[in-house]
Amino acid sequence: MTVFEYAPAPESRSIVDIAPSYGLFVDGEFVDGTGEPFKSVNPATEEVLTEVSAASEADVDRAVAAARRAFTRVWGPMRPADRGKYLFRIARLLQERAREFAVLESLDNGKPIRESRDVDVPLAAAHFFYHAGWADKLDHAGLGPNPRPLGVAGQVIPWNFPLLMLAWKVAPALATGNTVVLKPAETTPLTALLFAEICQQADLPPGVVNIVPGAGDTGRSVVEHGDVDKVAFTGSTEVGKSIARAVAGTRKKLTLELGGKAANIVFDDAPIDQAVEGIVQGIFFNQGHVCCAGSRLLVQENVHDEVIASLQRRIGTLRVGDPLDKNTDIGAINSAEQLARIRELSDHGEAEGARRWQPACELPQRGYWFPPTVFTDVSPAHRIAREEVFGPVLSVLTFRTPDEAVAKANNSTYGLSAGIWTEKGSRILKIADQLRAGVVWANTFNKFDPTSPFGGYKQSGYGREGGRHGLAAYLKGAEK
């Protein structure tokens, strides 16, 4: 096979201006937090990018008070059409400063610039545009005669799509007339703080959006705060369960977007080359740090060898390395902790008897890296078939009949997403109907759109984000 070499094509980082330290964004201003400061690193180099002060319980209390005041005095009473104008303004500012956001996201998170530039940032802007349009049309959203905002939303997000998850949380909350206290993840706070600048630039009234960086303790202060009306969480199933316990018995509304272990099902009549692209996109997009990643490949037995050979050939062409290089397909693992988890589960897979395959690939010396990995001979009982790896690791299982494919796909405690590859439309409809997964993609994978509700079954959580269903999660008197 011909190997094409590329000259490095790094995106310049000069467009971003990272301050030596950051505070919180409360009541329209940047203020120092009183919690223990923490560092955010570039996972591709281990370079410390900046220090961020964490929000203590008292800081969170101030943020919630600011959000309450803003809700009662300004944002709640505002004409919905005017709220919409602010959202349109934020969306346009995100587009204007898109390159800055993309570079900063890749620096802080480790994801390839190709993805932050072409996926994360445009989708974040699209979320604000979409919800801006709803702001003055909620009466016509089919959600009941008189939908009203809940009040203050406390929101906690993970590190895999820092800006995009912020957009998924903030845009629907604001469009429905709520105010927000949001806690970004501790390894990726920087684009949320840049978003705070956008809020200032958009003249958003103080207190409508508050950003409180910090780790799990700060998150707990947000979700357990007595004056929060709505909790929205995206993250691990373990933390999600503890939040569900903490919120149980209160008047708070709760939505949980948790883990996943999606089946990507390839039938023998599927166009194999296209399916291989979908498998690659399904598991290696964003280093596999994707809750809906197609991490369990279910391939029909009679095409197994052909699919795996073709898949390995394709994986051999993926470029792993500098996230800022425009040719990079797979960037850095987000943190040393996540890398340790991926290594532990992969080593365990081998110990359990699965066969590990990795392409020859040179990894950078510094930083956190893991090569694209395929496990064959995986049995449904293996931990790599059951647990979420949240990394570039694919487990391959086989099936003989459509019924067996469905049974194996549903044999999971999770139910976030699934993929089906076949030429037959009737089969797509029949199988999709039987899959216990919130999103089912057919002959494609990892496609996102703000109009389309996203969310899970079983231990993948409850509630939906996006579309009309997503609006309902932020409204009183809303019927789905």
Separation of first and last alpha carbons in the chain: 54
Instruction: Write out the two tokens for 361.
Output: 């690939």
What six digits make up the tokens of 255? Answer: 């939505």
Name which of Mn ion, ligand NAD, none residue 376 binds, using a CB cut-off of 5 to 8 Å depending on partner kind.
none
Q: How far is the CB of 155 from ligand NAD (least distance, A)?
A: 10
Site residues (vs ligand NAD, CB under 6 A): 156-160, 183, 185-186, 215-216, 219-220, 223, 234-236, 239, 242-243, 257-260, 291, 388, 390, 416, 456, 461
CB of 338 to ligand NAD, least distance (A): 7
Query: How many residues at the interface with Mn ion, by CB under 5 A?
Result: 3
Q: Which runs of consecutive H residues, i.e. helices, occur in 110-208?
A: 113-115, 121-134, 162-175, 190-201
* Residue 346 vs 398, nearer CB to ligand NAD: 346
For residue 141, what are the CA distances in angstroms to 30, 80, 220, 255, 438? 36, 14, 33, 20, 21
Q: Could you tell which of ligand NAD, Mn ion, none binds residue 40, using a CB distance below 5 to 8 A set by kind?
A: Mn ion
Q: In whole angstroms, how close is the CB of 463 to ligand NAD at the nearest point?
A: 10
Q: Which is nearer to ligand NAD, 183 or 252 (CB)?
A: 183
Q: What is the distance, to the nearest Å, from the Cα of residue 364 to the centroid of all Cα atoms in its chain?
A: 26
| Residue 294 contacts which entry, ligand NAD, Mn ion, none (Cβ below 5-8 A, type-dependent) | none
Q: Indicate whether 187 belongs to the interface with Mn ion (CB under 5 A).
A: yes
Which residues of 54-208 form beta strands (DSSP E)? 148-149, 152-156, 179-183
Collapsed DSSP state (helix, strand, coil) of residue 304: helix
Residues in the chain: 480
Choice between 27 and 388, CB closer to ligand NAD: 388
Q: Least distance from C-beta 190 to Mn ion, angstroms? A: 7
In the chain, count H helices and then E strands.
16, 22
Q: Which of residues 95-114 bind Mn ion (CB under 5 A)?
A: 108
Figure out which of the listed residues 33, 40, 119, 257 binds Mn ion, where binding follows CB under 5 A.
Answer: 40
CA 218, distance to chain mean position in Å, is: 20
- Nearest distance from residue 282's CB to ligand NAD, in Å? 14
By C-beta, is 109 or 300 nearer to Mn ion? Answer: 109
| CA gap 146, 179 in Å, rounded | 19
Interatomic CA distance for residues 414 and 396, integer angstroms? 17
User: In the numeric block, which tokens belong to residue 34?
Assistant: 């009183």
Both tokens assigned to 285: 């997009």
The C-alpha atoms of residue 15 and residue 194 are separated, in whole angstroms, by 13
Give the nearer residue to Mn ion in terms of CB position, either 39 or 73.
39
Distance in Å, CB of 291 to ligand NAD, minimum: 3
Strands 393-399 and 296-300: parallel
Work out the number of other CB atoms within 10 angstroms of the CB of residue 462. 17
**What is the radius of gyration, based on Cα positions, of the chain?**
22
**CA 147, CA 150: separation in Å to the nearest integer?**
9
Residue 260 interacting partner from Mn ion, ligand NAD, none (CB closer than 5 to 8 Å by kind)? ligand NAD
Residues in CB range of 303: below 8 A, 6 or more apart: 266, 268, 270, 272
Task: Kindly tell me which of 120 and 388 has the beta carbon lying closer to ligand NAD.
Answer: 388
Active site residue 257: yes
235 binds, among ligand NAD, Mn ion, none (CB under 5 to 8 A by kind): ligand NAD
Interaction partner, residue 149 (ligand NAD, Mn ion, none; CB < 5-8 Å by kind): none
Minimum distance between the CB of residue 162 and ligand NAD, rounded to whole angstroms? 10
Cα separation of 65 and 70, whole Å?
9
Q: Which does 159 bind (CB under 5 to 8 A by kind): ligand NAD, Mn ion, none?
A: ligand NAD
Q: CB-wise, 260 or 331, nearer to ligand NAD?
A: 260
Q: Which of 105, 257, 388, 465 is catalytic?
A: 257
- Kindly list the residues in this chain that would bind Mn ion in the complex (CB under 5 A): 40, 108, 187
Catalytic residue numbers read 257
